[in-house]
Amino acid sequence: MFDLAELERAHEIVGQAVPPTAAHTWPLLAQRLGTSVVVKHENHTPIGAFKVRGGLVYLERLKRERPNTPGIISATRGNHGQSLAFAAGRHGVPAVIYVPRGNSVEKNRAMRAFGAELVEHGEDFQAAAEEAARHAQFAGLHMVPSFHPDLVRGVATYALELLRAAPDLDVLYVPIGQGSGICGCIMARDLLGLKTEIVGVQSTEAPSYALSFAAGEVVTTETSNTLADGMATRVPVAEALAIIRKGASRIVQVTDDEVAAAVRAYWTDTHNLAEGAGAAPLAAALQEKDRLVGKCVGLILSGGNVDFDLFRKWIAPEAAAAHRIAV
């Protein structure tokens, strides 16, 4: 899909807008997991999520090769749309973003703040994406998919940063939405010649990639009702699945309750806010705690864009119980 020189060039493009994000070791998380752990903080980018990297690389090529592009259009649950709005704004390109009805209120506000025209359509991401593709043809806009080599090359830059800073990682847990993040990690690892085991993470309520990984072919689901909206995928991308099946060791499924516990753990142990998909790798590592003894574990905190009401729902019950015990 790309070579190391192309990945380095992508890192230069991303670096014009996004400084390298931190990779921290957190002693309380290490105690919780019973082993050493490194967290890659993609919640600290200008949009609060790793996706910004892909949008910057995609728009750079689009503007260079098609300078008269009248505008872009895409579909999202939030972070992909913020990425495109952010990058399009830097290049002076109008952006139309479709989201499903009932999408994250705060992510919708952020996309509008970055300059996107927001359209709500359908009950889930897939419905919004199909309508965006139809409107793209009608309006003559450039349709940006959720998975594309340029998007993968862009988001792979966070893996390049992490694996150069921590080349001794034994295992790296990565959330899976449409697949660009985990594919970027696989590509970066292979280009650097490392042996790090890469483990994908999905929700039990949206397990399309996990089912497809096991079946060896694309398997779709009827629903994707997880509260971790960054992993709410019903239809896997065949190209992404091929990379994941070749380069990942397995896919772990986590429940929304396990994700909520991981959100709380990030807050109490590091005082970092994690959205559902961002906390999912920690949830998976906690689920597999027994097999991680003696290993150096990497966790991708892919984003921190969670609505306050959902954060309060996930945090409040345990926080209140802990307070009662303390007093």
pLDDT digits (tens, 9 = 90+) for 26-60: 999 999 999 999 999 999 999 999 999 999 999 99
Could you tell me the pLDDT band of residue 165, with boundaries at 50, 70 and 90? Answer: very high
| Rounded (10°) angle between helices 79-91 and 52-65 | 40
pLDDT digits (tens, 9 = 90+) for 184-193: 999 999 999 9
Residue in the structure block whose two tokens are 């959902």: 310
DSSP lists the bridge partners of residue 99 as 120
Q: Where in the sequence of the chain do the CATH 3.40.50.1100 domains occur? A: 4-50+149-318, 52-143
188, 191, 169: which is closest to 180 by C-alpha? Answer: 188
pTM: 0.93
Pick the CATH number of 52-143 from 3.40.50.1100, 3.40.50.720, 1.10.8.60, 1.10.1660.10: 3.40.50.1100
pLDDT digits (tens, 9 = 90+) for 124-161: 888 999 999 999 999 999 999 999 999 999 999 999 99
What is the C-alpha to C-alpha distance for residues 234 and 259, in angstroms, rounded to an integer?
19
pLDDT digits (tens, 9 = 90+) for 194-231: 999 999 999 999 999 999 999 999 999 988 889 888 89
CB 95 within 8 A of CB 117: yes
- Helix, coil or strand: residue 52: helix
Output the six-digit token pair for 322. Answer: 């802990």
Architecture of domain 4-50+149-318: 3-Layer(aba) Sandwich (3.40)
Could you tell me the pLDDT band of residue 316, with boundaries at 50, 70 and 90? Answer: confident
